[in-house]
Amino acid sequence: MQLLCPQILILLSAIGNALAILRDTGSGVSCESSAFDLPEVLGTRIISLRATPIFNDSLALDRRDVPDRLSTLPGAIDDGLDYCNVSLTYTHPGLNDSINVAIWLPLKSHWNGRFMGVGGGGFNTGYSADSSFPYNGIGANFSTMWTSGGHVYPTREDPFPDPAPWGLASPGVVDFNGFNNFASLTLHEATLFGKAITENYYGRPAEYSYWNGCSQGGRQGHMFAQRYPDMYDGILGAAAAINWVDIFQFMLWPQIVMNQEGQFPSLCELEAIKEAAIEACDELDGLKDGLISANSQCTFDANEAVGRLYNCSGEYVQVSAGAAQVANAAWRGPLNIDGTQQWYGTSKDTDLSPIANTTISSNGTREVNPLFLPHDWIRVWIAKDATYKPALATYEDFDHFFHTGHQIYDSPIGTVDPDLRAFRDAGGKFLTWHGVADAFIPFDGTVDYYNKVLQRDPSIDDYYRFFPVPGIGHCGGGPGAKPDSSLETLVNWVEKGIAPETLLAMKKSTNGSIEYQRPLCRYPFFTVFVGSDPNLVESYECRESF
């Protein structure tokens, strides 16, 4: 009997928590499927709606080993959460598709009055509930929504499912309905459903609506600002994949060069070249900190590192001319067949291992090993053949990828429209940041977009602000300091009118403690070291040049 007592107490506690959610006081409805009104969104038909009370949810504890790519508010928690989980499935009549939307609703007594849409990554429109991403919203008491976009949710075991099953209707035929769902349509519909469910549950609409995403989620945020400008009051869209075709060309380019030139450098060689570049260009910004902040002023050529010895896990490796050729190609960016520039390259302190990786066969032969993102894009949507191997393509094939991609896909998924006047006039605020050392999406692509918006509308800083982040990779990682306070900054801009001149970035140790903090200046200003202690925020100023 003594052994059963703790179990009985746990069971009674669980029952009590569940009943508390079901009886969540306040206006609106209870967390029961039958209590919700089915919202109507033009062009859709709801298949099912299920509301389930969730209590003491600690699933996020299993995800703390995964780098956090989304920003949240101070004091947010990711375990012990009580909320109402609404799962909605709908279809577009006549298209035979099935789209899932999840809306997590905090207890009525805890809700902060805000709604948050959470973005996806890669070819995932949104994430599954076993990832940490939904907890960024619910943990801070936002009503939180995300969508499958019409294909399977990723899981921890399969975080980036093969897109071929939904990308191709059959070999050689793209499923353009499915692609349109992924590109924009379901984002809009899911937001409408999420807002309606939120208002139904609480008996009042959200006071403010926010979008939170990085990479694919950053592209989605820009899509909202451009196509659905009145959906969100504030959008946080970082490291955005807005230059859709161009970024895949960039990610595949080093592999094309490697295969065509027969050069397959080791990752140690590429690391040695990166270290040589940092050594040459680190102090261009006036501070030796292991980062290249003034990348546009760094004239270092990878050939200068040829012959350099690098200690790779106790074994010295000498940098080859082939490794320098590959590094220079990644830094310069992809080229057309006539030698003209296709798109931007990456910073010279970027980790090139994701885009210049190789495999070693049993006999020691090296071969290309492309990143899955450009590999999937080309084989599914350009070649329309799930068995195609893009990294083995010729320079002529690569040129074809570029032009075909723009011809077919700029309209459905292109997200580089610089006309944000409708978003501006709706009162929206957009905050974006981008790691200068991003190995997936060239930082200069975001600079290019900002300048085009600025050229069209000189008042851009009233509603769109962009912050470069030295030393940070794709959505995080790297030796630099990351702006974890960006969502809080956006909320203050939207709700209090405090436009950010800087973002506070923090470098954290492996145990989560803060090693140092640094202000990040909004582009086109630069963060310049002017003090004596580089670990102090007050040692930096925002200036027009280094």
What is the chain's percent helix, strand, coil content, to nearest 5? 35, 20, 45
ω before 524 within 30° of 0 (cis)? yes
* 474 is known as an active-site residue: yes
Cβ atoms of residues 355 and 254 within 8 Å: yes
DSSP assignment of 392-408? G--HHHHHHHHHHHHHH
DSSP-assigned letter for residue 230: T
**Among the options 131, 215, 293, 486, which is catalytic?**
215
Pull the structure tokens for residue 219.
Answer: 């592209």
* 438 is known as an active-site residue: yes
* 397 is known as an active-site residue: no
Pull the structure tokens for residue 28.
Answer: 């609106």
**Among the options 143, 474, 484, 485, which is catalytic?**
474
Cβ atoms of residues 215 and 475 within 8 Å: yes
Q: Which helix (H) or strand (E) holds 450?
A: helix 443-456
**Among the options 438, 444, 484, 486, which is catalytic?**
438
Alpha carbons 367 and 489: distance in angstroms, whole number = 46
Pull the structure tokens for residue 155.
Answer: 């899981």
Pull the structure tokens for residue 247.
Answer: 């970024």
**Cα angle: 233, vertex 239, 240; to 5 degrees:** 65
Alpha carbons 113 and 334: distance in angstroms, whole number = 46
302-311 contacts at long range (C-beta below 8 A, 24 or more positions apart): 302/273, 302/276, 302/277, 302/327, 302/328, 302/331, 303/328, 304/276, 304/280, 305/272, 305/273, 305/276, 305/277, 308/272, 308/273, 308/276, 309/272, 310/268, 310/269, 310/271, 310/272, 310/275
Place of tokens 């990554």: 121
DSSP-assigned letter for residue 380: I
**Cα angle: 240, vertex 370, 303; to 5 degrees:** 90
The residues assigned a catalytic role are: 215, 438, 474
